Structure 1
């Protein structure tokens, strides 16, 4: 039986202090559930609202590309220096120490190799496996303008729905295809569509003209993709400009493990 509380006069209800609503620090996330906000807080630093993400998922369509031949040797030692790691469940299970405390953003799409039409992707991971792996977010490519555009959007909305069910945010990656030539008009379209259809984070590429309009027209945080290998000073300059123009972080892969 619960003990009767006799000392009523000792209670302090702080009636003169308004209740703290604890506003959230990321744009577009104020109405999300507690669990999803908690996971976003593992990806983005609450003190800055920014993230440095380390992308090592390239093997899902490129195989053992340069720099990723032995992730256990070349990649795992670099993980402590990032805020979040973007990778596949295969590398997570086989190579990453379970003691890693960094946020995990898990690749959930796949299908074609670099030899085929890249937009011909399907969902490749069940949400239950993402939960088992304790991931902070799930991610996939979105091929706006690609041959299989509608399928890739449907893949994204299915992943968003599964993530909402269990409090796991979805990051949409705006794919550009093999030619890697796109402008701000294209990225405004791709990022806005991804956010409108439910993605909580959008990863996209930096363009030197009007990138700030891409960020401004997207109602959720944008993370800049590193893209192809650049000279180190150029990669750092691009990252600085993206942050200055409103990006919530960077997701670098080849510009780290091929440097």
Structure 2
């Protein structure tokens, strides 16, 4: 039975001031109404000190196969993982390649189906919630094709995962997927980010646009992170990241602009400096060049 020999009654209740609820993750909007599990997992993705994240995306193989830079995940990606706040990947890559002692938040690709040989918008849910729990996922990622031929189907994929994620305490990342026929401007991205947020996405990945990006982040009630997109020169990619952060983005999710760089580790360090240290692009590029001198050049 319980030991009652030294039972002491509490006396320090803090006076008349009301008790305060545990704060949401600093700098990360839209979390206050969520369960502790959701907020805890979001804190694995977004750094609590500033509410920002640097995600390393290498899930491209689920529809592209072994694209340039991803031929060998064990050689090209695993050495970069310790520098990333979070990694975006498939469950197959996680199980086969990523060390179990990795501290990076795991964002699992949860939709898929067609390859580059087919219509990419015709995706299905490709991950069960039980496996996401089993793999200790910090979040699940799903493509949403607003304006695409299979728009309704992709939205249904999103809501299916949101329902499952809410039950298990796992947040969902909605990834805006833009077809070639759609105009990439602030008006479109306000629509393409607001819809997933309204339907329950906990954060949204989208593209940066030069004009009006701040209206995209302001109109979205959950955090926005920007996609790196196609490979561009390192200085330009750092400028892109800087402008996005200044425009209200909560982080970046870069893939090709990291692993297709001649010096991936140096580039990832420079991106981190932009996102977490507010380094100007010129300073970040100088950091990249300094670090690149000590790193081997990729073939």
TM-score by length of 1: 0.96
Aligned to 2:150: 148
In the TM superposition, 1:115-154 aligns within 5 A as: 115-154=117-156
Q: Specify the SS of the correspondent of 1:251.
A: strand
| Moved >4 Å (runs of 4+) | 5-10, 178-181
Q: Give distance in 1, aligned partners of 2:163 and 2:155.
A: 12
Name which of 237, 240, 244 aligns with 2:239. 237
Gaps of 5+ in 1: none
Mapping 1:200-211, distance limit 5 Å: 200-211=202-213
Question: Relative contact order: is structure 1 or structure 2 higher (C-alpha 8 Å, sep ≥ 6)?
Answer: 1
Match of 1:112 in 2: 114
Alignment of 1:16-31 (within 5 A): 18-24=18-24, 25=26, 26-31=28-33
Unaligned 5+ residue runs, structure 2? 262-299
| RMSD over aligned Cα atoms | 1.5
The equivalent residue for 1:12 is 12
Alpha carbons 2:143, 2:154 under 8 Å: kept: yes
Give per-residue Cα distances to partners, 1:79-122, cap 9 Å, x unaligned.
11110000000100001111111100000100111121110000
- Provide Cα deviations, 1:30-52, integer angstroms capped at 9, x if missing partner: 00000000000110011100000
Query: Offset at 1:13?
Result: 2.6
User: 1:23 offset after TM fit, Å?
Assistant: 1.9
| CA separation of 1:239 and 1:256: change in aligned 2, threshold 3 A | same
The answer on whether the counterparts of 2:147 and 2:182 sit within 8 Å (CA) in structure 1 is no
Kept in 2, the 8 Å contact 1:72–1:95? The answer is yes
User: How many residue pairs align between the two structures?
Assistant: 259
Q: What residue is the counterpart of 1:51 in the other structure?
A: 53
- Mapped contact 2:162–2:171 kept (Cα < 8 A): yes
Contact 1:171–1:203 (Cα < 8 Å) also in 2: yes
Q: Which of the residues 184, 187, 194 maps onto 2:186?
A: 184
Distance 2:169 2:157 in 1: 18
SS class of match (1:38): helix
Pick aligned residue for 2:76 from 66, 74, 77: 74
Instruction: Give the direction of change, closer, same or farther, for the CA distance of 1:68–1:15 in structure 2 (3 Å limit).
Output: same
Native 8 Å contact 1:118 1:177 kept in 2: no
